[in-house]
Amino acid sequence: MIEDKHEDILSRMGAILSQGIINAAGRNATISLTTRDGNLRQNAIIGMMMFTQHWYWYPMQNFLALCLAPTALIGLNKNLKVPKNFKCVMNAKPSRFKYPEFIKNDKDQKKEKVTQAVLSTQNKAKARKDRREGKTKVPGEPDTPTPVKTGDKDVDMTSEKKDKDGAEKNEVEEDKAEEEPNHAVLKNPSRVLKEQEKYINYQSTEPETDSSYCPVLLTRFSGFVILRETREAGDKEEFYDDEERDVDAPNPDLHSEFKLPAPFEFDPEV
């Protein structure tokens, strides 16, 4: 719809906005007007109110960013580092909360063949031709499959079709036999939706979730979660942010070539 120049301009604009909302923050954000505790978010409410007026002034579309909230579960230790060993279990099928499928272009799909309409005059002409050639069916005679000769052996087309249908049915049954697991292991950090939080369990008996950390608040299943260390002293742990940080830098996470201005005294009169 976005690429179709003949589509209505309002429909194309709606398609562009919907694509942006679905793909916001790498598909790791959602529109939320309340906090995780259930309180109203003033900036999100104002942003949504301004966004609904974007048709009168297009720059108001940017206010939608105030309504977005990240959908993530990030475990932090006492030093605010993200350990790789922390895991938890989601007691639901992985396909239930997977990422939305990408929209496929219709051009990539094969076009289906259109069945040609058959006129009544064509049917009458075909019937007259069959009567002349002696192919007219006798009333009450059952339909019999036409055998196809291959050398000295006749092959029944009906039996071949039954064998083919049976093979396809067996393949479908084999696919159903491989059922999807009823749980999934979430690593740190992981994408967690609001509806997904009630299926998360920290205290699981699954062997793949053996972790050296335990959350301080066992009732918090999204956002930043502070972890308590349960591993033995001396065990080496890996983190996602092991780089040395410059505490004197204005932003330790970003490297900038800009130089800080020299210190100066502020004169209110100037």
Domain coordinates of the chain in residue numbers?
Answer: 1-70, 78-98+152-236
- Count Cβ atoms below 10 Å from residue 252 Cβ, excluding itself: 13
Q: What are phi and psi of 171, to 5 degrees?
A: -65, -40
Q: What is the pLDDT of residues 14-35, one digit of tens each?
A: 898 988 888 888 888 889 999 8
pLDDT higher than threshold 50 for residue 251: no
pLDDT band with cut points at 50, 70 and 90 for residue 250: very low
Strand boundaries in 152-255, DSSP class E: 153-155, 184-187, 200-201, 213-215, 223-229
- Count Cβ atoms below 10 Å from residue 209 Cβ, excluding itself: 18
The 8-class DSSP code of residue 170 comes to H
d(CA 95, CA 145): 45
Cβ pair 34, 74 in contact under 8 A: no
152, two tokens: 């000295």
pLDDT higher than threshold 50 for residue 263: yes
pLDDT for the residue 124: 80
Average pLDDT over residues 48-60: 91
Q: What is the pLDDT of residues 59-95, one digit of tens each?
A: 999 999 999 998 888 888 888 888 888 888 888 888 8
Q: What is the pLDDT of residues 183-241, one digit of tens each?
A: 888 888 888 888 888 888 887 655 565 667 888 888 888 888 898 887 665 567 778 76
pLDDT higher than threshold 70 for residue 155: no
pLDDT for the residue 205: 56
Higher-pLDDT residue of 215 and 135 is 215
